A and B are shown apart, each in its own frame.
Chain A
């Protein structure tokens, strides 16, 4: 009755939804053959190899979106843990690299959505928000590229002092008060700089967050409640 469209679609294992439906097994590049072999011999060994191979570059990628070293590392760490929990080495039909990059982007994006849309003061991010998965399409892949370019652009066009304060706060983990003391400026000024930087970042994000929001309504509303 229905057409046989070649894909699997499993609500219970989000990991399958992250990777692209079309299996490219056999096309997987040689550089991961060793890692796959290691996973077969000893999953922990495989995991360590995978981690060492991609962790640094993935953090570098994540930081382009979230502009915070700590958050970027958290995101990448979580993606690896999810990989382990879901036995990615068995489930994933694309290369590990594709899966990891796609997941990191997705998670970084969800994090941004949470950071800029959430007015409440819950200091822990609900796991379910970070785990929301967007389907990967050529458009979405390019939009991620555009998004991080835009964010980088918005930060690099900040006035020098403002940029300095922002990077100290986000990359050296300094409290506003510490920054004020170090730069010998008023606390209020630091706060103002931070506000400006964040609002600039939010502006770069605006179009993207709105469209994400619509997408989530689209995919999550259940009319048969």
Chain B
């Protein structure tokens, strides 16, 4: 375990007396999860040593237990509808929140439609888009791309992506930057190149085929930058940290453009997530062990059914499909 930070340094930091270098040290040290535990342990110790106020714990505990009892009384019998008391109690802010929500929603929608052209793909649909500057975009299923109606290619080249897309960006004479913004904590900035961006709920990643791109991303409140080389795969975890890996075949990550699916020792669980994202088909496993089995190979499939068929034949398992719910079993 990293011993670079001790209790004294941390106490100094809590008291606002740490030097910038000590802060840097602490920041490094905190990257280790056990050290975060240690941090809170010492924070608690510090608070107990330098107590600020003396609340009445017993009173507060009784109040808390009362609230729990009340709450549990509301909840039996279990009902999906919120209790009337909830609405009565919160009516004012609910109303206010509704109004605020409505207005901001309206403004947001209007702004969106006035200033942006949007492309949206359904489950199972792949769309090829040619942007005004000549750049090409393949938009994968269940994804959306927003492009400014005015000024694209003259002032800025900015697009907004949710979901997954592959870009082939045209280099302009005046070296104008092309930026892909996402609703995750990062954006991709390029001159002219080929790359794949994946920004879905579960995680986010960028794969570079050719050229050079720069990633701007946010960790906490700090903006960081990272330059990618061809063959780089950058993955962002939910707390926004980036991980860079070199991969042998970056083009596998944009195989979906030709309706190809490339798996390499991929657990079925991940395949299920992918199918859900691309085709809207929800997959369950009757047996947890099944979801851990892996699959390898390249498959061509135009829709979820074809893919499900291949998987079941390959692994010699069965599946049941009811609308958009599929269950795999042995």
Contacts and interface: CB of A to CB of B under 8 A. Distances in A.
Interface residues of B, number: 84
A182 interface: no
Interface in B28-72: 28-31, 33-34, 36-37, 39-41, 43-44, 47-48, 50-55, 57, 60-61, 63-65, 67-68, 71
A13 interface: no
Interface in B212-257: 218-222, 233, 235, 237-241, 243, 245, 253
A39 interface: no
Given A152-B16, A223-B160, A55 B53 contact: no
A55 B41 contact: no
A187 interface: no
B3 interface: no
Contacts of B267: 4
A24 B33 contact: yes
Nearest to B220: A139
A160 interface: no
Interface of A is mostly: helix
Q: Most chain-A Cβ atoms within 10 A of its Cβ — which of B37, B50, B198, B222? A: B37
Interface residues of A, number: 81
A206 interface: no
A20 B37 CA distance: 10
A102 B202 CA distance: 23
Contact of B26 (A24, A142, A153, A215): A142
Contact of A135 (B48, B63, B240): B240
Contacts of B23: 142
Interface string A48-70: 10011011111111011000010
Contact of B261 (A1, A126, A138, A219): A1
Given A97-B40, A142-B23, A224 B238 contact: no
Contacts of B108: 225
Interface in B253-279: 253, 261-264, 266-267, 270-271, 273-274
A2 B44 contact: no
Contacts of A95: 37, 40-41
Nearest to A141: B30
B39 A141 contact: yes
A9 B39 contact: no
A73 B90 contact: no
Contacts of B235: 3, 5
B37 A28 contact: yes
Contacts of A127: 90, 93
A5 B270 CA distance: 11
A188 to B, nearest CB: 30
B13 interface: yes
Contact of B270 (A2, A11, A56, A101): A2
B270 A1 contact: yes
Contacts of A145: 13-14, 16
In the A-B complex, the 9 residue pairs with the closest CB atoms: A149-B16, A139-B220, A138-B30, A57-B47, A140-B220, A22-B33, A224-B144, A137-B220, A211-B221
6 contacts: A29-B37, A29-B41, A56-B51, A60-B52, A94-B36, A139-B220
